[in-house]
Amino acid sequence: MANTKTGEKLQKIAKDLLESGEVSLIIGYAKGSNPQRMRPFFTTKSEEAGKLSFSPNAVQDLAVFLKKPEVKKFGKIGIVVKGCDEKAVNTLIQEYQISRDDIKIIGVECNGVIRQNLADKGETAVSESTVYDKCLICEEHIPALYDFLVESEEPKLNLSGNVKPYAGIEKLEAMSSDEKNAFWDKEFDKCIKCYACRQVCPLCYCSRCIVEKNMPQWIDTNLEETGNAQWNLIRAYHLSGRCIGCGECERACPVNIPLMLINEKMAKDVYNLFGYKSGLDINAKPVFGVFSESDFNDFIK
Amino acid sequence: MENIYLPKLAEIKEIIQETTDTKTIRLTIDGGSIDFLPGQFGEFSFIGEGESTFGFSSSPLRKEYFEFSFRFSGRATTGMNSLNQGDKIAFRGPYGNYFDTSKMKGKDIVFVGGGIGMAPVKSIMEYCFDERGDYGKITILYGARSVGDLLYKSVFDEWKKHKNTDVIITVDPGGETSDWTGKIGFVPTILEQLPLKGENSIAIVCGPPIMIKFALKSLEEKMGFDKNDIITTLENRMKCGLGKCGRCNVGSVYVCKDGPVFTAKELESFPNDF
Amino acid sequence: MKMEEKYFEISSENLKKFVERIIADNFEVIAPMDKDGDTFYGKISKFEEANLDILLPKMSYKEYLLPKTETLFEYSFSGADTDIKDGLEAAAGANQKRVIFGGRPCDAGAGPIMEKVFNWDYKDEFFNERFKNLTIISIACEKPDTYCFCTEMQLSPESSYGSDILLKKAGAQYFAVITGEKGLKLIKPYLSLFKETTKAQVPADKDWKKIFEIEKTKSFLDKNFEHNYFQDRFLSCIGCGICTYACPTCHCFDIQDEGTLKEGRRIRNWDSCQFGIFTLHTSGHNPRVTQGDRYRQRLMHKFKIYSEKFDKYLCVGCGRCSRNCPEDIDIKEVAKDLADMA
């Protein structure tokens, strides 16, 4: 992969941060296992900063590593983030999982990343039909918060409006309860409980997940109808009002469950009901962490 | 065609409340014990709450029952804690290897146990008592964090009655009560004070990993035990007990099938994976 | 005694007829199918639903040998009595009318490899029943991708190991290598569609090249349990179970009870060595603390432990763990790295 201007800027920032000792670890992207893939890259050495790069194949949300004990022990960390991923950093700060002082945010302006399954089949163009739905509704091409910003070399995404993001939500909303149940039964039937949706989520940071607790056994352990539905529902609830829409769960899911339909619907409802969007402001109180008299209460009969 | 995961139902003959959080349960199948060897283990369960792995703590020569000791901490053991005499426990086993008594005959034996790790030691120890003539001097060193944490208090006196047998019970400093007459000190510390020699002796050690580590060191370095003459049992999380489910391995060794009994010599060759 | 291999020719047209006829005769035919934007194994109702052009479906067909959840036994309580109903009865005879069609030699190789662990000493008849009865028709690969490394794993894109029938494409027709009784039994009623031939007529296997020697990977693992590579390289591992669940040979499982106060079942579920709780002791002690420790275990199990115990590596080189890894950990690259360091 040729060294791009974006790459060079990232390398310079990382090198300076490591050399000055402002951070002891840089988390960024480097070239991956094929020309259409990038992978997380970790370095503590300024001389390795030259491996950093960025492209529309930088699909991973690197903020996931900020919850990992093996990474946390490095102390001060510099992290390369796209706008969507950066919202996860904000939420982690907001929820007291990391300290703003320990993080140097290296924001990258992003105009969309190519769906990995398409890229693996050779797709190289960034267009409204090749990027993730999250890119189509993105309002944070430039991250909401950053210490450094690297501008994009990619042209702005041209949105004709022909591709409707998260079109499935409207379809689901129009369904009866039975139809919705049938839809999700079929989807959850595919689930293999590999917990990739949990592990890849930057905001699923419980040190012991509810599925790992068995006194009482809240969630059935089976990988069948009951266990799978319970798992997927509890995951969704734990992320409602928190999910920042990076879409990593859906990207990682090896059996292609459309998890973003759940997450995005939740986010949409939270916005409509509370006027709250997660991940934008590190000083905001989490929507389900506060009570306001103006909250709707017509569900109380 | 046999279902290797299918347990048998055993009846609870007797429950001994050992400490505030441990019990020994004596079981019978068809009115008696089962065939097993000291050091082996089984899968025990209160059906509905899941299986747990425990070593046998009784001598296989006592034919009227077989017993195991457990601490109630998880779902399966909490379930078992709720059972009464006459209730059923599902059991499958015995599994794993065992203490090779042919190697022990005619020798002095040192038994070292810590906390609930005394359970498998008790099995082989009582086996030796049952065939007392086959062995030389027997030394028992058993310790726990506090007096309240000592298991098998009801049989200490029985142990002491045997000829040519020393029984030393110790508790960690601070764990003693005002009327405590035993030793005070960590097991490895007390072990070093005992007049033991490695010649013609076998040591059987089981307890928490840190205790095993220091006890092995003392036996080898201070008392001159050969690494092949120090025998311990390893514990790892297990599910099947049959060498299938893939979680108990230490390096290339499956604790459930190749173990749980290993010599200090074998232990030394294992990677730091336990 | 093992049957000698038999060889047949079959035209593409007749192959289609064969598949449609076994479907009509109530066989459940599992084949690669386009679904949800990718390809997965699934039950086809007509030949056209099978995607035979795809290299490999996203997941393996392991679940037909080791279901995601399997009932070991059912239980019920009435008063002081406990009634236990053996779950093996339900598994007995499973797969008798199930055919895997259009899988690849790597997937087929997984069966006899896994059979070893399920049969040392204690025999797991759940696995044996499913394996014994499942008929596997594989198609030799013409173009492996960069994640494939079956050749390094002692198989090859044209290996018949584990397949009951191996199809090799040659122009507009296929050669069918029948490896044993099971394959022969399946085609017997439809023999008019096949034309018997000799081994000499079947195109010889290509000379597939290896890029590393797996024995070297093993020899590195033999000597380097504590090597920094594991902690450094797998800092990017997030500890999900995709690699193990997509893997055709990973077979670790959990045993759990599930039910009400009156009745329930003891089940075994797929489990993964990549989960922190996998080896967690009741005391809180965990032999494998970091993700580096856990990924090392996966490598050790595949490339060292299993081969020492069972004389086979626990990997068929299908590359699914690499293709599906959300963080782009490529096991072929890792195995080669280790071989290079040996």
Per-residue pLDDT reduced to its tens digit, B143-185: 999 999 999 999 999 999 999 999 999 999 999 999 999 999 9
Token pair belonging to B32? 């008696």
End-of-domain residue from the set A117, A150, A183: A150
Strand partners, B204: B111, B231
Residues B155 and B199 in one domain: yes
Confidence of residue A290 (pLDDT cuts 50, 70, 90): confident
- Candidates A208, A211, A213, A214: best to mutate against B (most CBs of B within 10 A) is A214
Q: What helix, strand, coil percent values describe chain B, rounded to 5?
A: 25, 30, 40
Residue range of the domain that includes A175: 167-289
pLDDT over threshold 90, residue A299: no
Token pair belonging to C143? 């173009």
- The answer to whether residue B183 sits within a structural domain is yes
The distance of C52 to chain B (nearest Cα, Å) reads 34
- Nearest-angstrom CA–CA distance, C274 and C292: 10
Q: What pLDDT is attached to residue B164?
A: 94
Residues A109 and A188 in one domain: no
Ordered strands of the B8-19 beta sheet: B50-55, B41-46, B88-95, B8-19, B22-28, B66-71
- The answer to whether residue B254 sits within a structural domain is no
Q: What's the whole-number average pLDDT of chain A?
A: 94
Question: Which contiguous run of DSSP H or E holds residue B87?
Answer: none
- The answer to whether residue B186 sits within a structural domain is yes
- Whether chain B has a CB inside 8 Å of the CB on A214: the answer is yes
Residues A38 and A131 in one domain: yes
Per-residue pLDDT reduced to its tens digit, A111-146: 999 999 999 999 999 999 999 999 999 999 999 999
Q: What pLDDT is attached to residue C310?
A: 95
- Whether chain B has a CB inside 8 Å of the CB on A221: the answer is no
pLDDT over threshold 90, residue C201: yes
Rounded average pLDDT over B214-238: 94
Residues A144 and A234 in one domain: no
Residues B147 and B79 in one domain: no
ipTM, 2 dp = 0.94
Residues B181 and B74 in one domain: no
pLDDT over threshold 90, residue C131: yes
Q: What CATH number does residue B46 fall under?
A: 2.40.30.10
pLDDT over threshold 50, residue A1: no
First and final CA of chain A: distance in angstroms? 62
- Nearest-angstrom CA–CA distance, C60 and C44: 16
- Nearest-angstrom CA–CA distance, C308 and C304: 6
Per-residue pLDDT reduced to its tens digit, C232-250: 999 999 999 999 999 999 9
Chain A partners within 8 Å of B82 (Cβ)? none
Per-residue pLDDT reduced to its tens digit, B100-140: 999 999 999 999 999 999 999 999 999 999 999 999 999 99
pLDDT over threshold 50, residue C124: yes
- The answer to whether residue B2 sits within a structural domain is no
Q: What is the pTM of this model?
A: 0.95
pLDDT over threshold 60, residue B47: yes
pLDDT over threshold 90, residue C291: yes
pLDDT over threshold 60, residue C219: yes
Q: At what angle do helices C105-117 and C125-133 cross, to 10 degrees?
A: 150
Rounded average pLDDT over B199-224: 94
Residue range of the domain that includes B35: 8-95
- Nearest-angstrom CA–CA distance, B177 and B149: 12
A192·C240 Cβ contact <8 A: no
- Candidates A26, A64, A199: best to mutate against C (most CBs of C within 10 A) is A199
Q: What's the whole-number average pLDDT of chain C?
A: 96
- The answer to whether residue B263 sits within a structural domain is no
A268-277, A288-297, C69-78, C300-309: segment of lowest average pLDDT? A288-297
Annotated domain spans of chain C: 6-341
Rounded average pLDDT over C122-141: 97
Residue in C with minimal Cα distance to A120: C323
- Whether chain C has a CB inside 8 Å of the CB on B207: the answer is no
Residues B24 and B61 in one domain: yes
Residues A51 and A130 in one domain: yes
- Nearest-angstrom CA–CA distance, C18 and C16: 5
- The answer to whether residue A219 sits within a structural domain is yes
- The answer to whether residue B17 sits within a structural domain is yes
